[in-house]
């Protein structure tokens, strides 16, 4: 029998989930349809949900990669892009697109908007929730598409897949590198930090809490607990009663956060290759610092943005060159579990 404290926590989280769902219901009025092709979504289709702002550079590779993985339809919310993002997305035959000029921060960093779309269109589907600078890979992703992965997860009795967000960076200042839309970003962002991660289990939501990587090394060495969170649950067999709690770092109900083995063994997991450090990072950092839309306490990240604006070389002699998913499995950054 559960202890009273645990029962009280479950009760509080159940009401929090309902409040967040109601919040998304109210925020639906902030969305205006640009291109609605959701009538083409079929039973069993795998869907992707993304909020974007000025991502015309990243989107061609992002869509092509996830199409190859097996995403059937993309549902985007555009937050006031002025670089051609909205027009480009509206022309894609497998994209449905909404627009809003409202605050990204006050929409729980876009999650209120996406939650509404997941309520409307995601129920019963396997759904990827991503940022435009996140590229999902997993064991055997080059030979086994997402339908094979989700079928295996279902047979294993799992409704969600966890992933580590892995910051990728170039050798030399990011602003000095060249990149054109549609190119493979990992020809440039070819390096990562392999071993400086620490993990804690959060009892309240049963999720892992992971910090580390190049951003912790370069920008938060004196305050590692303020470094960006790297654990995510990007792939979920969706139910209209589910809701992300903090970006895709945590989800409710909390059983979906159990994407690791309680007994210390291994469970199948993925990696989100993070393309934040393309050559636009200096300009984007200036914009994010001024807009104050990307962190709950934006002032506490002022030094972080100031450092990025200086366009530092993130590479060091201990940096590891990326060679593929097998390397990440060998390093313990993702796992095949029993899926061999």
307 domain residue, yes or no: yes
- How big is the chain by its Cα radius of gyration, in Å? 19
| pLDDT (average), residues 195-223 | 91
Q: Which residue has the tokens 């104050």?
A: 292
Cα distance between residue 146 and residue 26, in whole Å: 32
First to last CA, the chain: 37
Give the confidence band of 261 by pLDDT, cuts at 50, 70, 90. Answer: confident
Q: Quick one: pLDDT at residue 224? A: 83
Tokens representing residue 115 in the block: 């939650």
Burial class (CB in 10 A: 0-12, 13-18, 19+), 192: buried
Within-domain flag for 208: yes
**How much is the pLDDT for 91?**
98
So what's the pLDDT on residue 340? Answer: 83
Alpha-carbon distance of 308 to 301, in angstroms, equals: 11
**Given this model, what pLDDT does residue 275 score?**
97
Q: What is the pLDDT of residue 3?
A: 80
In a domain, 279, yes or no: yes
Per-residue pLDDT tens over the stretch 144-170: 999 999 999 999 999 999 999 999 999
Q: Residue 246 corresponds to which tokens in the numbers above? A: 């903090």
Q: Which residue has the higher pLDDT, 159 or 305?
A: 159
Write the burial class of residue 250 (CB in 10 Å: 0-12 exposed, 13-18 middle, 19+ buried): buried
Please tell me the predicted confidence (pLDDT) of residue 1. Answer: 46
Q: Is residue 188 part of a domain?
A: yes
pLDDT > 90: what percent of the chain? 79
Choose between 23 and 301: higher pLDDT.
23
Burial classification of residue 290, based on how many CB atoms lie within 10 Å of its CB (0-12 exposed, 13-18 middle, 19 or more buried): exposed
Domain-embedded: residue 336: no
Q: In what order do the strands lie in the sheet with 231-237?
A: 32-35, 95-100, 73-79, 47-52, 126-130, 231-237, 160-167, 270-274, 134-137
- What does the mean pLDDT of the chain come to? 93
Which pLDDT belongs to residue 289?
A: 72
Q: Which two tokens stand for residue 78?
A: 């555009």
338 occurs within a structural domain: no
Residue 8 · residue 71 · CB < 8 Å: no
Q: What is the pLDDT of residues 110-121, one digit of tens each?
A: 999 999 999 999
Average pLDDT, integer, range 191-218: 93
Percentage of residues in the chain having pLDDT higher than 70: 96
* pLDDT at residue 287, as a whole number: 77
- Domains in the chain: how many in total? 1
* 127 band by pLDDT with thresholds 50, 70 and 90: very high
Is 197 buried (19+), middle (13-18) or exposed (0-12) by CB count in 10 A?
middle
Residue 340 lies in a domain: no
> 7 or 19, which is more confident?
19
Distance CA 274, CA 136 (A): 9
Token pair for 282? 């200096």
130 located within any domain: yes
Structural domain of residue 62, as residue ranges? 4-330
Comparing 80-84, 199-203, 296-300, the range with the smallest average pLDDT is 296-300
């Amino acid at each position: 029998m559960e202890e009273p404290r645990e029962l009280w926590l479950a009760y509080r989280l159940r009401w929090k989930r309902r409040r967040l769902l109601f919040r998304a219901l109210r925020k639906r009025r902030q969305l205006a349809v640009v291109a609605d092709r959701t009538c083409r979504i079929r039973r069993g289709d795998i869907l992707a949900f993304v909020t974007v702002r000025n991502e015309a550079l990243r989107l061609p590779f992002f869509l092509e990669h996830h199409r190859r993985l097996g995403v059937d339809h993309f549902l985007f919310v555009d937050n006031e892009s002025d670089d051609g993002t909205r027009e480009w997305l509206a022309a894609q035959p497998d994209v449905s697109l909404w627009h809003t000029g409202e605050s990204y921060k006050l929409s729980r960093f876009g999650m209120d908007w996406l939650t509404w779309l997941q309520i409307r269109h995601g129920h019963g589907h396997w759904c990827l929730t991503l940022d435009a600078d996140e590229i999902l890979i997993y064991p055997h992703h080059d030979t086994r598409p997402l339908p094979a992965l989700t079928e295996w997860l279902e047979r294993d009795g799992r409704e969600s897949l966890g992933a580590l967000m892995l910051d990728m960076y170039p050798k030399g200042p990011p602003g000095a590198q060249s990149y054109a839309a549609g190119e493979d970003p990992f020809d440039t962002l070819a390096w990562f930090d392999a071993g400086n991660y620490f993990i804690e289990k959060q009892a309240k939501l049963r999720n892992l809490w992971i910090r580390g990587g190049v951003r912790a090394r370069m920008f938060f060495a004196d305050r590692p607990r303020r470094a960006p969170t790297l654990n995510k649950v990007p792939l979920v067999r969706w139910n209209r009663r589910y809701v992300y709690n903090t970006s895709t770092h945590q989800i409710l109900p909390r059983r979906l956060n159990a994407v690791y083995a309680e007994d210390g063994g291994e469970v199948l997991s993925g990696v989100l290759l993070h393309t934040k450090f393309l050559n636009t990072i200096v300009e984007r950092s200036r914009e994010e610092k001024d807009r104050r839309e990307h962190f709950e306490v934006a002032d506490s990240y002022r030094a972080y943005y100031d450092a990025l604006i200086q366009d530092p070389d993130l590479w060091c002699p201990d940096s590891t060159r990326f060679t593929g998913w097998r390397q990440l499995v060998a390093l313990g950054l993702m796992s095949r579990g029993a899926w061999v």
